[in-house]
Every structure is written in structure tokens, then in C-alpha cells.
A and B are shown apart, each in its own frame.
Chain A
Amino acid sequence: MTDLETAAHPEHLRRIAIEPLSRVEGHGKVTLLLDADNRVRQARLHIVEFRGFEKFIEGRPYWEVPVMVQRLCGICPVSHHLAAAKAMDQIIGARLTPTAEKIRRLMHYGQILQSHALHFFYLAAPDLLFGFDAAPDQRNVAVLAGTHRDLVRQGVLLRKFGQEVIRITAGKRIHGTGAIPGGVNKAITSAERDWLRADIATVIATCDEAVARMARLFEQQLDTYAHFAECKAPALCLVRNEGTLDFYDGGLRARRADGTPLFDNAAADRYWELIGEDVKSWSYMKFPFLKCLGDADSGWYRVGPLARLTLCDRVPTPRAERERQQFLAFAGGAAARATLGTHWARMIEMLHAAEVIGMLLDDPELLGRDLVASGGQRAERGVGVIEAPRGTLIHHYRVDENDRVIRANLIVSTTHNNQAMNAAIRSVAQRDFDGREISEGLLNHIEVALRCFDPCLSCATHAVGRMPLIVEARGADGRLIARRVRDDAPMSKQP
């Protein structure tokens, strides 16, 4: 799907930029090049910032890393915090105590809940409730609070609850310090548990309502929603125990858009055998691809709520699983194939997160005092993989014998979705624009397509890419021309 990526003669075309992208997190812009008939000839999502976190982490002591790297992102700091902590568990050879893992899970599911609530209620809802073409000054949460006060109250409640779960497990709502290599540094008191438990029933009921609202929106506008920003792509996520959805741990599963399996239960800590990366001149965000499908043009894929709910075999909580079945069956699978179906999937995941939080709060082990495991066999390499709100997140570190990080690499969720987001906006450019006079409302369609992915462009700008161990050069016919294996490939068996 490289249609509309590069126009043959850009010098003859009119440029329109959507800059900055709004109601998304971070910095990005979209440029469109149009011909004299208002047909889009080129459409690109540019990530315009470069930060280079991984480079300045080099030389820092490993135990600082979970606290440093969460500053990649203020919306999903817990994801980076925990992915780094999981990697550092491996560095020190620690197996978590049951209480530590439960506290980390509680923190993580709290974050899934707050991030998904933030995205729907504070960012995306105006598009869905007012319409894609609504007046620009209407499309924001402040106006929504006037017209749909109860709905915004629900959003505030859900986000607040998720943030409180994080505060209680990590010390503060944003950029806490709860996870440390080998465990967590803070126990949960029964008073804290009870404070959260007091609201959990309301939270679950509110999530139920949010799922039902999204289902109604689909019913009302099925024709529009089913085909908007079409983007058929293979999907990737972590699953546990033969296909159970799990945001904290598991093996990698990928399937083609038609459901054909690509790989399953693949060791996430050997991700480089599965994922390659390309660079394009017009974006600081790299273009990852599944190696089994070829290159960046043929092997791009998607991650996130829609990928997870279509790839997993079951969601391990009853309400969310029931909703998932309805979602998958809706209109012969039309919602599960639709880019806008991601919003629906996100609300089901939010419900699931609330149910899991409820279960963890009922678990007596959560209040245990055995928080930190002592280290065992020290390792040079640690790879922490987690399902962040926006999809699979990979943190990979090497630490030397003086405890200093010597290499770091991160593939963040939004980077996995790079080409999928480009494909989605090109679909809008082809179907919705189609020679029509360009209006502000029409340009918002591009952003509506991007918001389905809930892109976290801050995360993406920090990411520097992976630390691969094997390099292959192939000719145009796919024939292997050269192959280089890095000397320092740790524990890597050559395929």
C-alpha cells in the first residue's frame, strides 16, 4: 500500500498542511499534495520531533531507567515504567513475588483505564457525537461539557479512578516510582484498597455504558463507520496461555488481515527475529515491518485495541468477553474490520481493565508485604514487552558489569502503527476527498482517521529504534545478497 505515498511531480501540486495535529498526544502534521482537480496525489503523516532518549540513557545505572524512561510519555508513563522494570528484572535475574506482580498489574490496568477514558471522553468524542464536519470551535471537551454534561462527568470519573489506582500503586498520578528492578517499592494498605473498592462498581457500570454508547453509534451510522479510513493490515499483540488477552505479559501472536496465522506464542524477548525497520526521509518515526512478510511496503501491520480483541481467543473477564463477542459478530464482522471499530474495541478494553482492577482489589495477596525478590543469575540483556494502551511496547537494554546501561532501544506502540496510520489517511484522501472542494471539515476527516489509533506522537519521537542483531541485504527479487551478524549478539542462535 504505497499509493499516494510519493507523487511523481510534486512541483506541480498544491500543498495543504494540517498542522499541528490536534486532540492527539504529541507533535505531528499531515501534508497533502493536490492536483488542479482537487485530487490528492500525495498524503503523508510526518512525525516532526526527534529526541533521542535511548542515547542519553547510555551510561546511566540500570535502576534509574524505569523512572527516567517513563518521561517519554505523560499519558502512558506506567507502560514505559513497567516495560523498563520488566527488562531490569531480567538483568538482575529476579522472579517477582506474587504480591509485586499483582501490584504492578493493578498499576498497569489502572493506566489502561485512564488512558482509554482520556482518549474517548476528552479527545475523540466530539468527532463521534458532533460529527466529523462539525464546526472546529465546537469540537472539544469544553463544548462537550456543556452539551453532554453527564457524559463528560463519566469521563472525568473514569479517568480520575484510573489515575487514583496509579497514585496508590506508584506514589503519584504521573511519573511515579512504584516499580523497581525485582519488584515494587510500596505496599498497598487495606485503607487504600478500600478507598478504590468503594468506587469500583460505579466504574464498571460506567464502562458498560461507554461500550453500549459506542455500539449505538455504530448502529446509527454503520454505512459511514464501516468503510471510513479503511486499512486492512496484519495485526500483532501479546497473548497469554493459548490466546487469553493479557496487557502485562505473554508471547507474540500475529495474523494476516484475513485471519491466517503468521506466528504464535513467539518469545517477545527475541522480537528482532520477527520485526525489521525502515526509515523514510519525511518522518522521524521509523517504519517497522514483519520480516516474514518481506519489507516495509509488504510487511506493515497494526497494534492496539482492535488488533488485540480480534487476535485474542478470549478476554478473561465476563462482561468484556460478552461485549467482545457482540463486537465481533456485529453486522457480520463489519465493526471488527472497521478502522473506527478501534474506538469500540477500546471501550471494551476499558471495561475489561475495570473488571480486572475489581478482581485484584478482591485478592488478599494484593496486600502482601513481600514486595521485592532478591536477584539471581545476572544477565547482560533485558527485554521488557508489555501491551500499552496503544499496543505492543518493547524495551530492550544491555547493562554492563558496572551496572551501566550500554545500549537501549524502544519500539513504542505508535511506531508499530506508522504505516497503518498513513494507509488510513490515504484511504480518506481517496474516498472522502475525491475531488471535492477542500473544507476545514473535510480536513478533519484526516484527523478523525488518525485519532482512531490514539497516536502518541511524543512516545514516537523519543524512540530511536531497535537493536537488531542480524542484518540482511536483499536484491529487488528478494534474493539474499549480504548478511551481517553483530559480534555482540547475546544468546542469539542464528536461524
Chain B
Amino acid sequence: MTRLTLATASLAGCFGCHMSLLDIDERLFDLIQRVDFDRSPLTDRKRCGSCDIGLIEGGVCNEENVAVLQEFRARCRILVAVGACAVNGGLPAQRNPLDLRDILTAVYATEGGLTAGARIPDDPELPLPLDRVRPLHEVVKIDYFLPGCPPGADALWQLLTDLIAGRAPRLGPDLLRYD
């Protein structure tokens, strides 16, 4: 069997989808028989090589997220939005009705008890936040969407085994959840 390459990234998410992937437990040994990990928080590859499958958790909340998402889209044959935040923005998108400048000012400048002179961090090393948190498909084309907060390990396993076998993933209602 040809080995496939798998890349993963967490954008504006909580890492819970990656944890759910690790919840495949002993099946991890089967997975690494069939795939090589490329760029992922689990490896030290800092840039995405040419990959068969890309899994992205989290929505898009700043310019760096946009760049990473575009890199994955350019390098991954199949790109999957994993989890509520990637699919529709999730909980971080709850900030969308609020004005970004107001929140930043409240947090870093006017909140009582901060050291005198505190202001919004503005160093060029910090990526600019977007005005709204967006789901992945508003930025790039997404091939599959896996809902759930997080999707269960069995759902991720089914998705991966289908993709590895060259099938379009088909998940029954017992594997799909919308929590």
C-alpha cells in the first residue's frame, strides 16, 4: 500500500480536535503504518510539504491563520475542515458582533489595575487580528467538513481510513454530532 502524507494545523481553535485525533488511542500505531506526518503540531516540520490529506481545526481569526490556510490549500490534495470552529467559526466567532478595537482597548489599555501606560500590543511581529472570525470555506475551497466540538475519535478514524482507502468519506449519523 502506498504511504500517504498527512498534515494538520490548528488555527483559531483550542487543540481539542487534535486531542480527539489522539483519542484513536492504540489505532495511532495503525495510522503511522499508513501515513507519514508532515507539518503538524506533533512534528517539527514548520512548513507544509506536498501532502495528500490536510486536516485543519479552528477558524480564521488573524492574517497568520489566512497564510497557513492558504499554504495548506496549495499543498494538500484533500483539505478537511475539522470541528465546529473550522466548519462555522465556533465559539471564537462569538466575538463577531463585538467591535475588535473596543475589545482590544478594554483588555490591554483601560482595564483597571494594569501597569500605567499599558496599551494594545502593536509590534510588527504580531499578526493583525481580523475584524471577524471566519470559517475556513470563506477563505479557501474545502473538500470535506467534519462537524462536532470536537468530532469524536471514531469519526476522525472513519474519515481518515476512508480517505486513505481512496473513498469519499461516508459517516453515519452515529458518528456525526453537532455539540
Residues of A within 8 A of B (CB): 17-20, 22-27, 29, 31, 44, 46, 48-56, 68, 71-75, 77, 118, 122-123, 136-137, 139-142, 145-146, 149, 152-153, 156, 159-160, 163, 172-175, 272, 276-284, 295-296, 444, 447, 458, 464-471, 473, 484, 486
A interface, over-half SS: mixed
Beta-carbon nearest neighbor of A77 in chain B: B16
Complex partner residue of B32 from A56, A145, A276, CB under 8 angstroms: A145
Given known contacts A23-B42, A136-B45, A163 and B23 CB-to-CB distance under 8 angstroms: yes
Whether A277 contacts B41 by the Cβ 8 Å rule is no
Nearest-Cβ distance from residue B142 to partner chain A, whole angstroms? 21
Beta-carbon nearest neighbor of A488 in chain B: B112
Complex Cα gap A141–B18 (Å): 14
Complex Cα gap A160–B62 (Å): 34
Beta-carbon nearest neighbor of B91 in chain A: A71
Whether B121 contacts A140 by the Cβ 8 Å rule is no
Whether B19 contacts A48 by the Cβ 8 Å rule is no
14 new A-B contacts, CB < 8 A, other than A73-B16, A160-B25, A444-B44, are: A22-B45, A27-B64, A46-B126, A52-B107, A74-B16, A139-B43, A140-B42, A156-B26, A172-B152, A175-B150, A175-B179, A466-B113, A467-B113, A471-B114
Given known contacts A68-B91, A173-B23, A29 and B125 CB-to-CB distance under 8 angstroms: yes
B interface, over-half SS: loop
Nearest-Cβ distance from residue B98 to partner chain A, whole angstroms? 6
Whether A136 contacts B112 by the Cβ 8 Å rule is no
Beta-carbon nearest neighbor of A17 in chain B: B125
Given known contacts A74-B14, A279-B119, A465 and B125 CB-to-CB distance under 8 angstroms: no
Given known contacts A48-B64, A136-B44, A279-B115, A156 and B98 CB-to-CB distance under 8 angstroms: no
Complex Cα gap A136–B113 (Å): 43
Residue-by-residue, is B120-147 near A (CB-CB < 8 Å gives 1, otherwise 0)? Answer: 0111011101000000000000000000
| A residues near B122, Cβ cutoff 8 Å | 281
Nearest-Cβ distance from residue A225 to partner chain B, whole angstroms? 21
| A residues near B91, Cβ cutoff 8 Å | 53, 68, 71
Given known contacts A163-B23, A279-B115, A56 and B41 CB-to-CB distance under 8 angstroms: no
Complex Cα gap A272–B114 (Å): 11
Whether A74 contacts B17 by the Cβ 8 Å rule is yes
Whether A145 contacts B28 by the Cβ 8 Å rule is yes
| A residues near B111, Cβ cutoff 8 Å | 464-468
Complex Cα gap A50–B123 (Å): 14
| B residues near A295, Cβ cutoff 8 Å | 115
Whether B46 contacts A279 by the Cβ 8 Å rule is no
Complex Cα gap A439–B31 (Å): 31
Complex partner residue of A71 from B29, B90, B108, B123, CB under 8 angstroms: B90
| B residues near A159, Cβ cutoff 8 Å | 22, 25
Whether A174 contacts B150 by the Cβ 8 Å rule is yes
Given known contacts A55-B98, A163-B23, A281-B122, A465 and B12 CB-to-CB distance under 8 angstroms: no
Nearest-Cβ distance from residue B7 to partner chain A, whole angstroms? 12
| B residues near A20, Cβ cutoff 8 Å | 41, 46
| B residues near A118, Cβ cutoff 8 Å | 19, 22
Whether B41 contacts A50 by the Cβ 8 Å rule is no
Whether A145 contacts B29 by the Cβ 8 Å rule is yes
Instruction: Choose among B12, B32, B113, B114 the residue with the greatest number of A CB atoms under 10 Å from its CB.
Output: B113
Complex interface residues of chain B between 52 and 89 (CB less than 8 A to chain A) = 61-62, 64
Whether A51 contacts B92 by the Cβ 8 Å rule is yes
Nearest-Cβ distance from residue A469 to partner chain B, whole angstroms? 7
Nearest-Cβ distance from residue B6 to partner chain A, whole angstroms? 10
Complex Cα gap A281–B12 (Å): 21
Whether A281 contacts B26 by the Cβ 8 Å rule is no
| B residues near A123, Cβ cutoff 8 Å | 42
Complex partner residue of A22 from B15, B46, B98, B107, CB under 8 angstroms: B46
Complex Cα gap A365–B42 (Å): 40
Complex Cα gap A44–B37 (Å): 29
Nearest-Cβ distance from residue A313 to partner chain B, whole angstroms? 32
Nearest-Cβ distance from residue A288 to partner chain B, whole angstroms? 11
| B residues near A444, Cβ cutoff 8 Å | 44
Complex partner residue of A142 from B15, B43, B64, CB under 8 angstroms: B43
Complex Cα gap A151–B82 (Å): 29
Whether B26 contacts A24 by the Cβ 8 Å rule is no
Nearest-Cβ distance from residue B49 to partner chain A, whole angstroms? 11
Instruction: Choose among A55, A174, A466 the residue with the greatest number of B CB atoms under 10 Å from its CB.
Output: A174
